[in-house]
Structure 1
Amino acid sequence: MAALALTVVPVAGGATLDTTAVAAAGGGDTAPCGTGRFLYIFNGDAAPHTVTVATPGKVSGVAIADVTVTVAAGKTGCIPLSNVFRGATGRAAITYDGVTSVKVAAFELGT
């Protein structure tokens, strides 16, 4: 798994999300979790792709379902990376059903 770096989106000036994104790793990626953080996905492929973020926690002993988001061909998506996704490493574990022409980035909203 590749570790995605966190990019802060400044309040004044914004950011160009697609130029910060990197190719999604075939074995998956990890990203930092926390308030105001999110995963940006750009699917440049001709087919839709599903992104899964593992949810390692439990509520009353019952596992919380992983989050999946399908991003249509040529579209973008975002997944909030709240602390519910924090794994043993302190990062979210992210996998993809395919990585052809898929770019991703981890962002944090600036204050």
Structure 2
Amino acid sequence: MAALTTQVLVPGGSASTLTAAAGGGDTCTPGDGVFLEVNNASGATKTVILATPGTVEGLTIQDRSVPVPAGERWKIPVPSRLFAGADGQCVITYSPDATSLTVGAFKAA
């Protein structure tokens, strides 16, 4: 797993960088205003899966699965109340694989 560094977008504008999604998954630090940007350069839909480690009244919260259509670039919110694990990180996996996906974690200043 690769740890994505949260890039802070400043009011005057910022350059942003996407990196190749790791085949074994990635992690990021979730929080208010944090989002993933996912670019799917493949010819097929890829699903981004965000692990939800918490429970509500003893019931497991279902992981969030976000299908990203072929050739599209999506932004996915990553609030800590849903996605922070015991180590404070959000675990991100890709299905059927990470081929042709680039990702980045961002937050506005």
How many pairs were matched up? 107
Unaligned runs of 5+ in 1: none
Is 1:51 paired with 2:48?
Answer: yes
Q: What is the CA–CA distance in structure 1 between the aligned matches of 2:87 and 2:59, rounded to whole Å? A: 21
Q: What is the CA–CA distance in structure 1 between the aligned matches of 2:84 and 2:76, rounded to whole Å? A: 14
Q: Which residue of 2 aligns with 1:85?
A: 83
Q: Which letter does structure 2 place at the counterpart of 1:70?
A: P
Is 1:29 paired with 2:26?
Answer: yes
Taking structure 2 as the reference length, the TM-score comes to 0.94
How far does residue 78 in structure 1 lie from its aligned partner after superposition?
Answer: 1.4
How far does residue 11 in structure 1 lie from its aligned partner after superposition?
Answer: 1.3
Q: What is the CA–CA distance in structure 2 between the aligned matches of 1:27 and 1:99, rounded to whole Å? A: 8
Q: Which letter does structure 2 place at the counterpart of 1:80?
A: P
- Runs of 4+ deviating beyond 3 Å: none
Q: Which residue of 2 aligns with 1:74?
A: 71
Q: 1:4-58 CA deviation, whole Å, 9 max, x = no partner?
A: 0110011122x344xx000000000000111010111000011110000000000
* Aligned equivalent of 1:95, options 93, 102, 106: 93
Taking structure 1 as the reference length, the TM-score comes to 0.92
Q: What is the CA–CA distance in structure 2 between the aligned matches of 1:3 and 1:28, rounded to whole Å? A: 9
Q: Which letter does structure 2 place at the counterpart of 1:109?
A: A
RMSD value, Cα:
0.9
